[in-house]
Structure 1
Amino acid sequence: MKYVLKEEKGFIYIDEGQGPVLLLLHGLMGGLSNWEGVIDEFKHDYRVVIPILPIFDLPLLTTGVKTLTKHVHRFVKHMNLNDFVLVGNSLGGHAGLIYCVLHPERVKSLVLTGSSGLYENAFGGSFPRRENYEFVKEKVEYTFYDPATATKDLVDEVFILVNDRSKVVRLLAMAKSAIRHNMAKELNKITMPVGLIWGRDDKITPPEVAVEFNQLLPDSKLYWIDKCGHAPMMERPDEFNKKLREYLNELKQKA
């Protein structure tokens, strides 16, 4: 990771650039490095802020998407962020949805990419063969349209993670929490503009999930990225940035 991590009051985060704030939230298996292409592109005219989400550090009994959202709110208050655009991938998008229901006064707009919150076809609830490197490699490749996007470094990271008993128990608890917390009946409360940037070949939150989000959210716009899976900002960073830039420019024109 080429960007400097800052640490204070129990929060670890990246804070790059100046201007309107983009708050980026990574997914369940993700990390700050997932957003490097976005930082590179937007740090010149936005302030890009990315907290590490404490997915593996929460007490097991409270490990869930709602607790994660409370952490995001504590971070937002600590950083004194207001009128920001919240961008979330996968579980980070789900936390973003809950955040926008609870604290709409803080958020200017929400952008979702491969977000959970309606339906997700995750790792299947367990890792019965987590000691098997090839099995884990296949699971990581499943995230992407092009299996080559699952680099050895990325597979190694996930392999180490799923073979840490404490972490895998929390990972599964968080995944089950996200599946249980379906937001279909709450989406009408999110009246701010929402951008949906979706991989057309996403197998984890398939295209019909994006279509349903677009139907249920009162003010949303859907952008597709072809030949792309669950993490467009990693697999098709240039196209993702182009779509995000287009959406942010439209937001400016509305203001």
Structure 2
Amino acid sequence: MALTIKEENQFKYIDEGAGEVLLLLHGLFGALSNWEGVVNHFKSNYRVVIPLLPIYDMPLKKAGLDGLNSFVEDFVKLKALNQMTLIGNSLGGHVGLIYTLNNPDKVKNLVLTGSSGLFENSMGGSFPKRGSYEYIKERVAYTFYDPETATKELVDEVFETTKSIPKCLRIVAIAKSAQRHNMAKEIPKIQHPTLLVWGLNDTITPPLVGHEFNKLIPNSELHFIDKCCHAPMMERPEKFNKILSEFLETRPNDS
């Protein structure tokens, strides 16, 4: 079922269901559709909200983690969200870490899957092959255990994005910002219950990264999904949703 995109002020977002808030943040080449399986599974019991991060059109001088965090802060304020379970994939996890540290009272639980913030083997930091469809196809497929998950529609979407020089400049600026911002010294300050869901075959943030997050975040638990790479919620939605459901069900309900 296709997701309905809403618009308010400068924000585009998904807002489905009612109840406790799940705020979902996508990655550098991500899209709202990455979370479709999560939305459809949880919207009957939760309010699932996904802002479209302005990765391709934010002012170039603000294109970085701080700019994205400010965007999320503004969005949360506009929608008056509180006591959220914040769920981030890849770059979205990195932004989620910064947001949680800066706004601890707004976050109830934190969920990271394939998050940057400690280490990533990414294609974003250098983009020499703009205009090469085969290169983009290969790099998109690299993010999945099963290359067939990189559908033509998905590859076409990324390829169209990378044909734009202004968009490429922003992608590179944000990727470099993420690579510079290692959070190893800050992460231990996070006291929120934290769920880590990692693909056992993740080539971008390998399993070792999941273990490192688990070691550094005091109140965290780590789960691996086999035959899965960098986007578990897309590649193994049933397993991802089961792990997330069990985590949420063990947390006390404040309402």
When the two structures are superposed, what TM-score results if normalisation uses the length of structure 1? 0.97
- Superposed displacement of residue 165, structure 1: 0.5
Secondary structure of the 1:172 match is: helix
Separation in 1 of the partners of 2:71 and 2:19?
A: 24
Separation in 1 of the partners of 2:47 and 2:16?
A: 6
- 1:194-233 aligned at under 5 Å gives the runs 194-233=194-233
Secondary structure of the 1:195 match is: strand
- Superposed displacement of residue 55, structure 1: 0.8
- Superposed displacement of residue 127, structure 1: 2.3
- 1:136-175 aligned at under 5 Å gives the runs 136-175=136-175
Task: Report the CA distance shift for 1:124/1:168 in structure 2 as closer, same or farther (over 3 A).
Answer: closer
1:188-210: per-residue Cα shift (whole Å, max 9, x none)?
11111100011010000000000
Separation in 2 of the partners of 1:47 and 1:177?
A: 31
Separation in 1 of the partners of 2:245 and 2:252?
A: 11
Q: Which moved more, 1:37-46 or 1:54-63?
A: 54-63
Secondary structure of the 2:171 match is: helix
1:178 aligns with 2:175: no
Q: Which residue of 1 aligns with 2:236?
A: 236
Q: Which residue of 1 aligns with 2:22?
A: 22
Instruction: Tell me, yes or no, if the aligned pair for 2:84 and 2:108 is still in contact at 8 Å.
Output: yes
Separation in 2 of the partners of 1:168 and 1:124?
A: 9
Task: Report the CA distance shift for 1:20/1:254 in structure 2 as closer, same or farther (over 3 A).
Answer: closer
Instruction: Tell me, yes or no, if the aligned pair for 2:202 and 2:229 is still in contact at 8 Å.
Output: yes
Separation in 2 of the partners of 1:128 and 1:84?
A: 39
Q: Which moved more, 1:130-139 or 1:102-111?
A: 130-139
1:46-102: per-residue Cα shift (whole Å, max 9, x none)?
000000001112111121011100110110011000111000000110000000100
1:128 aligns with 2:117: no
When the two structures are superposed, what TM-score results if normalisation uses the length of structure 2? 0.97
Separation in 1 of the partners of 2:117 and 2:44?
A: 32
Instruction: Read off the aligned partner of 2:36 and give its amino acid letter.
Output: E
Gaps of at least 5 residues in structure 2 are none
Instruction: Tell me, yes or no, if the aligned pair for 2:118 and 2:182 is still in contact at 8 Å.
Output: yes
Separation in 2 of the partners of 1:13 and 1:58?
A: 16
Q: Which residue of 2 aligns with 1:115?
A: 115
1:122-144: per-residue Cα shift (whole Å, max 9, x none)?
00622222222111100000001
Task: Report the CA distance shift for 1:68/1:253 in structure 2 as closer, same or farther (over 3 A).
Answer: closer
Separation in 2 of the partners of 1:192 and 1:243?
A: 17
Q: Which residue of 1 aligns with 2:13?
A: 13
Instruction: Read off the aligned partner of 2:126 and give its amino acid letter.
Output: S
Instruction: Read off the aligned partner of 1:128 and give its amino acid letter.
Output: P
Give the total of aligned pairs: 255
- Superposed displacement of residue 253, structure 1: 7.6
Task: Report the CA distance shift for 1:50/1:124 in structure 2 as closer, same or farther (over 3 A).
Answer: closer
Q: Which moved more, 1:125-134 or 1:218-227?
A: 125-134
